[in-house]
Amino acid sequence: MGRLRIESFSLSLDGYGAGPNQDLENPLGHNGMTIHEWVFPTLTFNKMIGRPGGTTGIDNKFASQGFEGIGANIMGRNMFGPIRGSWKDEEWKGWWGPNPPYHTPVFVLSHHERRPIEMEGGTIFYFVTDGIESALKKAQEAAAGKDIRLNGGVSVIRQYLSKGLVDYMHLAVSPKLLGAGENLFAGLDLVKLGYSVKENASGEKANHVIFEKS
């Protein structure tokens, strides 16, 4: 059975994975985009958005690794979009346009049912209303032995971490301070949960830390 992996998750020096006040203009919250600046110059990111060129150093190496061996994805509803409450209609189909970068089944955690959305490039969004373990089981079945990538946001990652369900976590720690927002580790004891640091590497614009479950 495939591992549950967190890949290229950007974190500020003060532990925040997103800023406050997410909306259409600020999908990562106020100043949240700044912690992702490490990935924007990379060849991997440029390829993902259909732009030529890009850097090929350590930052790109870690960004590229995050797409290897992935058979399904999981994300929270806040990562899928800024809409809250019941779905008023089915017009919103994510931030990424008609061809999202996932190219696998994506299981979106939600409290409100919605029909699956089939997109270009093999991405199909499924909406799971019966909890994180159900989403993981569905993703494992869809992945057919490959790994599952847990994309976020912070609240969803914290839920999976608190139950010890994450097997591998790559954090890209950016030299930025957010001061407020969603803190990834507040109230979590990673040591008691069985996690330890397996690798630490300095990239061009971020420090890359790998955690694994013992």
Residue 125 covered by a domain: yes
Choose between 96 and 205: higher pLDDT.
205
R_g of the chain, CA atoms, integer Å: 16
Neighbours of 70 (CB within 10 A): 18
Q: Is the pLDDT of residue 195 over 80?
A: yes
CATH number at residue 152: 3.40.430.10
Q: Is residue 133 in a domain?
A: yes
The boundaries of the domain holding residue 177 are 4-19+28-82+97-213
Asked if 200 contacts 208 with a C-beta cutoff of 8 angstroms, the reply is: yes
CA 178 to chain centroid? 18
Instruction: Tell me: pLDDT of 176 over 90.
Output: yes
Assigned domain for 87 exists: no
Structural domain includes residue 92 = no
Residue 191 lies in a domain: yes
Predicted local distance difference test score (pLDDT) of residue 29: 82
What integer pLDDT is reported at residue 73 of this predicted model?
98
Rounded average pLDDT over 8-36: 89
| pTM, 2 dp | 0.93
Whether 90 is in a domain gets the answer: no
Q: Is residue 91 part of a domain?
A: no
What's the domain count of the chain? 1
Query: What is the average per-residue pLDDT within 124-141?
Result: 97
Residue 66: name the closest of 52, 84, 48 by CA. Answer: 48
Asked, for residue 205, whether it belongs to a domain, the answer is yes
Spatial distance between the Cα atoms of 43 and 56, rounded to a whole number of angstroms: 6
